[in-house]
Amino acid sequence: MRRPPKDTEESARRITRRGLVLGSAMVGFMGVLAGRMRYMQVDQAEEFRLLAEENRINIRLIPPARGLIFDRNGQPIAENTPNYRIVIVREDVDDLEQTFAKLRRLVPISDDDAERALREVRRRSPFVPVTIVDQLGWEDVAEVAVNAPALPGVTPEVGLTRHYPLGGDFAHVVGYVGPVSDYDLSKLEDPDPLLQIPKFQIGKIGLEAKREDVLRGKAGTKRIEVNAGGRVMRELSRQEGQKGADLQLTIDTGLQNFVNARLGDESAAAVVMDIRNGDLLAIASAPAFDPNLFVRGISVNDYKALTEDDHRPLADKSVQGTYPPGSTFKMVTALAAHEAGVVTAGETIYCGGYKTLGTRRFHCWKRGGHGYVDLHDSLMRSCDVYYYELAERVGIEKISEMARRLGIGIRHDLPMSAVAEGLAPTKAWKQVRRQETWMVGDSLNAAIGQGFVLASPLQLSVMTARIASGKAILPRLVKSIDSVEQPILTDGPLGLSPTTLSQVRKAMFSVVNSRRGTAYRSRLLPDEMKFAGKTGTSQVRSVVVNNNNVPWDQRDHALFVCFAPFDAPRIAVSVVVEHGGGGSSAAAPIARDIVARALEGALPPLEVYPAGERPKIAEIFEEMPLRGRDGAANGSDRA
Instruction: Confirm if 297 and 346 have CB atoms less than 8 A apart.
Output: no
Distance CA 101, CA 457 (A): 53
Under 8 Å between Cβ of 632 and 602: yes
The secondary structure of residue 515, as a DSSP letter, is: T
Note the residue count of the chain: 639
Active site residue 24: no
DSSP per-residue string spanning 221-269: EEEEEE-TT--EEEEEEEE--BPPPPEEES--HHHHHHHHHHHTTSSEE
Contact in structure between 585 and 522 (CB atoms under 8 Å) = no
Q: Which residues pair with 157 in a beta bridge?
A: 85
CA end-to-end span of the chain: 130
142, 66 in Cβ contact below 8 A?
no
User: What is the rounded CA–CA span in Å between residue 61 and residue 382?
Assistant: 63
Ramachandran sector of residue 407 (left: φ over 0; alpha: ψ -120 to 50; beta: rest):
left
Measured in whole angstroms, how far is the alpha carbon of residue 575 from the centre of its chain? 19
Burial of 526 (0-12, 13-18, 19+ CB in 10 A): middle
Catalytic choice (327, 469, 522, 584):
327
Among the listed residues 211, 199, 205, the one whose alpha carbon sits nearest the alpha carbon of residue 244: 211
Q: Taking the mean position of all CA atoms in its chain, how far away is CA 109?
A: 31
Contacts of 376 (CB under 8 A, 6+ apart): 345, 503, 506, 507, 510
The residues that bridge with 562 in the sheet, in sequence order, are 533, 573
Tally of CB atoms within 10 A around 157 = 13
Cis peptide before 565 (omega within 30 of 0): yes
DSSP-derived pairing of the beta strands 69-70 and 247-249: parallel
Decide: helix, strand or coil at residue 390. Answer: helix
- Positive or negative CA dihedral for 469, 474, 478, 482? negative
- Comparing CA positions, the residue from 206, 308, 219, 317 lying closest to residue 260 is 317
The DSSP bridge pattern shows strands 371-373 and 349-351 to be antiparallel
Residues 499, 405: Cα–Cα separation, whole Å: 18
Task: Let me know: does 450 contact 539? Beta carbons within 8 Å.
Answer: yes
The DSSP element (H or E) to which 534 belongs, if any, is strand 532-538
For residue 562, the surrounding DSSP H or E stretch is: strand 557-564
Task: Please give the positions annotated as active site.
Answer: 327
